[in-house]
Amino acid sequence: MHSTDVLHRLSDTVDGFLRSEKEFDLTDPAANGLVGGRFRALGDQIGATVLAGVPEEDVAAIVQPAKSACARSPFMRDENEWARGYPSDFRLVEHVLAQANGGAPGTLGWHVEAQLQRSALAQQLRNRVVHQARLIGDCLTAPRSGPRRILVIDSGAAPDLRTLPPGIVRPGDRFVLTDVDPDALELAQQRLGPLNEFTTAVPGNIFRAIPKLAEQGPYDLVLANGLYGYLNDRAAVRLTEAVLTKLTRPGSTVYFAGTVPGNEFRWPLEYLMDWQVIERDEQAVRALLPRCDVSVTQDPTGLALLTHARVR
């Protein structure tokens, strides 16, 4: 198809999405399905346009009005603004976990918010937190001969730790949280309650923080959340090498989550939310983990790749 035809199709799809404000009664919750259909159609058409070879800047210019409309949803705005200058704002994670709708009722933003909060995209994020909490619980309750040390990289406000049942932590156990955002660690401290007694926070860039983290180790369990989705292969290999050689010991478990290639949310994420995630398939993930016994599974949505590695 000629690129001009593709651009026209994209422009028409953007116009159709924006016309939702006039053509639907947005005060009626039943309109949500109609808005959702147009939002998904917009994502599909963005993808078709990019794959047709249209320059990214041309695509971005055409979808800008839709992007501005979507920004009325707090879910979208948190990522769009990125006030701290880096992705994966912990406030977005907390917002998704709360399953709240912060959009003004009766607006396009409210309907976009409702669609996103019910989407597989949001659910896989919740699934990741639940999975990490389960890994922490398993580490703490498994037979052991001494205290456990657990490192959470890209910890945010530690929503996984906050779900631990009372009494599961024993004297001498230690949690170490590290995040580039000091506000995330401050919120973690506010919400962890009695677990603060067992927790140490190390703020800063993960690569610069390695020496301080090593002083607290070695760790029985290292959780890297979704950080690998923001690291190119060179940086991912560098982090993996540091974790394996400086932060763990034989028998330790290393875990991180990623996004599977070809998922339907890629184009809305990139062009409507400025949220670019590096996708890796199982083969690419395994290549990052030499000298480890690796297990790779998908979360129930099929969007997240959950990688577990046992250090030899």
- The predicted-structure confidence for 107-151, as pLDDT tens digits, reads as follows 888 898 899 899 999 999 999 999 999 999 999 999 988 999 999
Provide the pLDDT for residue 83: 46
Q: Mean pLDDT, the chain, as a whole number?
A: 90
Element (H, E) at 210: helix 206-216
Question: Where does the pLDDT of residue 32 fall: very low under 50, low under 70, confident under 90, or very high at 90 and above?
Answer: very high
Question: Please, are residues 46 and 66 in contact by the beta-carbon 8 Å criterion?
Answer: no
Please indicate, yes or no, whether the overall pTM of this predicted structure exceeds 0.75. Answer: yes
| pLDDT tens by residue, 39-70 | 999 999 999 999 999 999 999 999 999 988 87
Radius of gyration of the chain, Cα coordinates, nearest whole angstrom: 21
Eight-state DSSP code of residue 277: -
pLDDT at 22 over 90: yes
Provide the pLDDT for residue 108: 86
Tokens representing residue 56 in the block: 């990214």
Strand 292-298: give its sheet, edge to edge.
199-203, 174-179, 149-153, 221-223, 253-259, 304-311, 292-298
What is the average pLDDT across 161-172?
Answer: 91
Provide the pLDDT for residue 74: 58
